[in-house]
Structure 1
Amino acid sequence: MAQVVSIHRHGGPEVLKYEEQDVGAPKANEVRIRQSHCGVNFIDTYFRSGLYPVQLPFVLGQEGTGKITAIGSGVTDFVVGDRVAYSTMAGGGYSSERLVDAELAFKIPDGVSEEMAAALTMKGLTAQMLLRQTFNVRPGTIMLVHAAAGGVGTILSQWGAHLGATVIGTVGSDEKASTARENGCHEVIVYSRENFAERVKELTKGELCDVVFDGVGKVTAMGSLDCLRPRGMFVSYGNASGPVDSFSMLELAKRGSLFATRPMMPHYASTRAKRIAMADEFFATLQNGSVKAPPIQQFALQDASDAHQHLESRRSTGCLVLVP
């Protein structure tokens, strides 16, 4: 039996339930993983709250790491004992042991710890999707990163700076501003006391940005549009403050024929070959030091509700993991 954290109804962190669940033997093309770390991502709160509907009961968690303990028929890429990470939108990650489709698993390369892979795999794949596919960041790009001291924001800032971009970050406090500067941001805006759109205009001497990466959502979306130069791209990839309100397409036209997109991982990492290529590129940034892991805070698996409260408080910097 495995220990899991599941929801039987939607709501706040209090609906998370620590219980046991039978794992069973792996079926064809599956592997069984004894997990050492379970990744915690903001998207987990969307499933918990009902923003992203799921069939209940549902075990939360989109990523984890550990060692393979059993292999189903048809699996040729792995052997028992391999250190692996996985990323999936199907849940099941908040568990001590689980079955995973072998198509979704990656071998963890040398020099990357299981804790690091659990905390960063989904965030790193998201950053690769945003920086390397949704908008091709290159030398000379001016990019704005909201929540630049958070998990994805930290990776976006470091990786963007490594690619030669000028990185402007927004954060909610002076403490987070220091973190953002340490992680690649050339300029940092504390949006709790500054109008970030006006400040971007000042910092860029009116040139504005080529791209805005916005994982905050509702409270920043329209201001993000005001930060873009003509034909710039608004990339909305999260809803930390709530879903983005509907707006007229004319808002894009009058600001200079802007582009707006809402990328989703399944449309970019749609095949195993694409997922492997994305993971390899991200893990390489960890191995060569161009991206350094942000602080990782551990919570016991049974304390997942505390982890969610901490995440949603907006006080956290870096990443969170659960330890079974």
Structure 2
Amino acid sequence: MTAKIIHISEGEEAALQAAQAVLLQGHPVAIPTETVYGLAADATNPLAVTRIYETKGRPRFNPLICHMANLAMAETYADFDPVSRRLAERFWPGPLTLILPLKPGSGIHALATAGLDTVGIRVPQGIAATLIGAFGKPLAAPSANTSGKISPTSALHVAEDLGSKLALILDAGAAPVGVESTIVRAAKDRIHLLRPGGISAEELQAATGLPVVRAQSPSPTIEAPGMLASHYAPAAPVRLNADSVKAGEALICFGETKVTGMEQAVLVLNLSPTADLREAAANLFDYLKKADAVAIKGIAVTSISVEGLGEAINDRLVRAAAPRE
């Protein structure tokens, strides 16, 4: 099987109909979101969810985010506390996932939640939300890549990795955010940040007036996707905060950082020459893939600010550089 790629620009209605046909058969479809491309399947169908895990080679103890068409749809599946509702109203549709208690008999299958009594819910932007609304049920949708590897920010990335395992990939061009959603669990007096992402901690605090508390890393328990110590990893070893380059390494830099031995690098990529963190986030996974394709000895990455969106970028790089099990 080789995946068919449908370009959204060539006809959104045809793309939606083709995707719904595959989803109704209980198979996953690769769909574009503003964060990364997702591997989407019916969250209420155990066979469909199983196929997500099988396609990705993903551990079944690692829960999936369930994507909704809008807040009203989300309210039929999960219970919202006042803080979570405020966050949803402020940031949805957008790159924020809320961990919420499941409603009894919600219909979301336990395989999608890894047996937890909570569920991660997000309302994406663009055609993903349109597809969910037309399908009428939530879509479980982790990133459309082999588990633990670099997340895809284009249809080409998906096709190169999972194209032989899928029937359909929807193509809407490059994902504009470029890193996965921020995942939070709200409390009355604080917000627990489980995974940094496309919404910064500063934005969360500004929206609620509550302090943001970071989760322990690596976490002893898995409450949400993206909490494994090793994740988003290229095949080549990754070396962080590099101020020099070794022969045979690819170099990923940021801003105007000066790096000793740059001439030895097999490839030099700059996430953002102007030190724009949004540009860096959008380029991160694509540049990791490009560096991984040519690196002989490894990938050296210079230091990147941890402010704002930089927290999410550094989180992904730390997990990419973590020891492999």
**TM-score (norm. length: structure 1):** 0.24
1 or 2 for the larger relative contact order (CA 8 Å, sep ≥6)?
A: 2
**Greater strand content:** 1
**TM-score (norm. length: structure 2):** 0.24
